[in-house]
Structure 1
Amino acid sequence: MAPISTDQLYLFHKMDREIFSCLVIKLGRSPSQSLLVMALWLWLEYIGYPNLVSKLIDLPRILINLVAQEAVSCLNCLEFDDFHIPYNGVLTLTSALMQKEISLQLFKLKKFTAIAGIKNVLNKICARIFKDILLRILGSPYMGKLLPYAYRPVIVPGFPHRLFGDFNSPPTNFVQLDLSDPRIWNKNRLFDDVLDGEKTIFLTFSRGFPVTEEEVKFVFTSTFGINCIKNLQMGNKGLRDQTLFATMVVNDVETLDRILNGKHIAKFRINGKHIWARKYERRE
């Protein structure tokens, strides 16, 4: 595919840029939160929800602000395990604009898929199409130096984010991409470039009821697909020669969400023995 110019990239994302400018300039919302809101909307579009941004263009600012606030609720639902979802949790304005119901429950059930997708769009798309706007409102540590405008890094307060990590403005040798570029898609979804550490599940077993590696594999492959496990590491055996834990890397982040099904801890059973699964969290 032939490279595209910056002007062509900006033209392709003209409406996205107008709405982002509205959020950070006309509505005075924080750049970091506005970037995440835009990344969330763009991610939703490419998992099959109707394009929301084009519906926002002609709306009054007050309504754009309210729809953005619904997006912030989705981000909070992803960030906080104890986030309270009201009855049915439907995003009223967002659903009305898209003419397709969407609920906070989606973000609870697809938590880690959403985090990975939003993070991917944030750094592969938003960092490119909004960079000049961010430089105008935030400046750059090199603004006073003889550095080409396009190559100046931008530092956005609020990043690194606790959940979404760093916001990386493109390096000087970056390849121009747009959301239709096949290089960032695989079967109509973002390439899964999530690190193994973010796709690892911590399994625990009941003392006195030893679980074998074969039993663990059977529980998950019989339910979530024969190729769902990338790596399984049984823990060291303790007292009475029993393994009490294991770590399991799954092949894609969607499988992680299917296993947890919106829960912090999911419970499985085989041969009268219990297996508890939760997302592995690295301890510093």
Structure 2
Amino acid sequence: MIESIQVIGFLFLLEQNHYARNLISSLVSLPDAFIDAVANQTLVCLSLLFYKDYYSSMFVGANNNNNNYDQSLIPLIIRVTGGRLSLNVINQNRKSLLDGLTIILNDVCDPAFEDLCARAERYNKEKILALEREKAIENLKKIRRFGEVIEEIVMQEVEENEQPLYARMVLKMCYVSKMEQIVRRRSRNKFTINGKHVWARKYVRKNLTSSASPHISKSLS
């Protein structure tokens, strides 16, 4: 969320500093794929803005021909600004741009996105984890204290070269009686874990008969 806000703030900065007129209103009318590409290239600009040594490390051995780097790294930024912004321009005006971005983030973006940030934080705290067999997460072994109701998430133990196929969720004792409300058996939802997305559902034993009363395992797959 913070990274997205910084991207929007930087685009506002370009518009405010006359690098690109009506940039925001123009972008929102374009396809999502184009907007995503602009956002990714904006992250390159932000890296250059935030990290003082980024520019010198980027152009080692470039023989002062920075145009090739501009066209390969930020071609859409060059396009939407009509060539008025380049990596070299960002580097030369780093302090003023950084000061301007800070003001926009504090005075415009933070108040505008305060509600969204709060909702995103609540969403991440309340979501429950389960791993689909076809959507197993590499290197995710154990997550503790995931939200207010979860005691821990324990991944399946596997060999070093294998991926876990399911996870076991342990609720805090006071929430065990609410298992059915917290994790619905047939629901499939998209969850976010440490920035990674997974599709999740609750594990149900396959040998259940239609006449038997459903027993819901507390293991997740």
- TM-score norm. by structure 1 comes to 0.36
Higher relative contact order (CA 8 A, sep 6+): 1
- TM-score norm. by structure 2 comes to 0.45
